[in-house]
Amino acid sequence: MIAARPLRWVGRLRPSGKVGLALVLLWALVALLGPLFAPYSIGAFIDQSVFSRPSAQMPLGSDYLGRDVLSRLLSGARYTVGLGAGATIIACTIGTSLALTSAVGRRVFDEAMSRFMDAFTSIPSKILALVMVAAFGSSLGLLLLVTALTYVPGNYRIARSLAVNLNQMDFVQVARARGEPIAYIAVREILPNMIHPLLADLGLRFVFIVLLLSALSFLGLGVQPPNADLGSLVRENMSGIAEGAPAVLVPALAIASLTIGVNLLIDALKRKAGA
């Protein structure tokens, strides 16, 4: 329905929502196609001087080794957006499945799971992620898992409270009385009715996960060389800060524009739904 009249849907967004949507689309495109447009290979040493200013050859200048910042940014965005999106989907799939099981399943499961998740949420997310990175290491696959697991409890909490409320509704009671299996009730009766707030939560988790991932990479505990996400780009060029090099600022601004964009879009969509 939304796809059938895309322009009207976009047209009804408030201006900040349109800006958000544009930023999200931009970064999605960069993540998908970015490396195709990279002027140089990411490892190539282009410039003799390091932290050079933007020029016609290098629109964003050179980094601490004289490599092209634009090319590295285009490929770094792929890691940030890709890992972020992957971890978000894993986190929300696990969190929401457990939440649905809690809501329609046995009371004992709900009690135990909710206690356990409460304990997990009492560990600040960055602390939890640091402990997991120290224990498991930080290869790309493990990073995906660590950032996803960190945000499972938050999603569980939201999804469970939505599902528990829906579980009291008449149409769910009717389905129960019809003798529908529990899985049917969870997936066909409850899930479709909570999909909008869940999608908003999905967007928020994505923002949290991208910020966490960037923070880990910035600390040198995230994506490891030779791979580099946007956070690693900031880290490796920190010595250029005294010169105000674009190599430090641009990747950091890139992360902020991605997360702010998602936030603005969610906010606008929520208000449209609420109005």
Partner 1 sequence: MTPSADPGRRASHARLLRMIVARIGVAVMTLFLVSLIIFVITNLLPGDAAQELLGQTATPAQIAALRHEMGLDRPAPVRFGLWLAGLAGGDAGMSMVTNMPVSAVIAERLPNSLLLAAIAALVSVPFALSAGILSAVNRGGRIDSALNLATLSMVAVPEFLVATIAVLIFSVELRWLPSISMLPPDATLLDRLQSLAMPVASLSFVVVAQMARMTRAAIIDQLDRPYVEMARLKGLSARRIVIGHVLPNALGPIVNAMALSLSYLLGGAIIVETIFNYPGLASLMVNAVTSRDMPLLQACAMIFCGIYLMMMLAADLIAIIANPRLRTA
User: Which letter does DSSP use for residue 105 in this model?
Assistant: S
Among 219, 239, 272, 273, binds partner 1 (CB under 8 A): 219
**Minimum distance from CB of 93 to partner 1 (Å)?**
21
**Minimum distance from CB of 55 to partner 1 (Å)?**
21
User: Which letter does DSSP use for residue 187 in this model?
Assistant: I
Q: Could you say whether residue 113 binds partner 1 (CB under 8 A)?
A: no
Among 191, 221, 228, 269, binds partner 1 (CB under 8 A): 221
Question: What is the CB-side half-sphere exposure of residue 111 using CA atoms within 13 A?
Answer: 3
Residue entry with tokens 């600022």: 249
Buried-state track 12-23, b at ≥16 Cβ within 10 A, e below 16: ebeeebebbbeb
* Helix (H/G/I), strand (E/B), else coil: 62: strand
Q: Could you say whether residue 234 binds partner 1 (CB under 8 A)?
A: yes
What is each CA distance from 12 to 121, 226, 271, in whole angstroms?
37, 44, 11
Among 54, 82, 105, 220, binds partner 1 (CB under 8 A): 220
Q: Could you say whether residue 115 binds partner 1 (CB under 8 A)?
A: yes
Q: How large is the angle between the packed helices 125-136 and 140-150, nearest 10 degrees? A: 150
**Minimum distance from CB of 261 to partner 1 (Å)?**
8
Name the site residues for partner 1 (rule: CB under 8 A): 16, 115-116, 118-120, 122-127, 130-136, 207, 211, 214-215, 218-221, 231, 234, 241-244, 248-249, 252-253, 255-256, 259-260, 262-264, 267
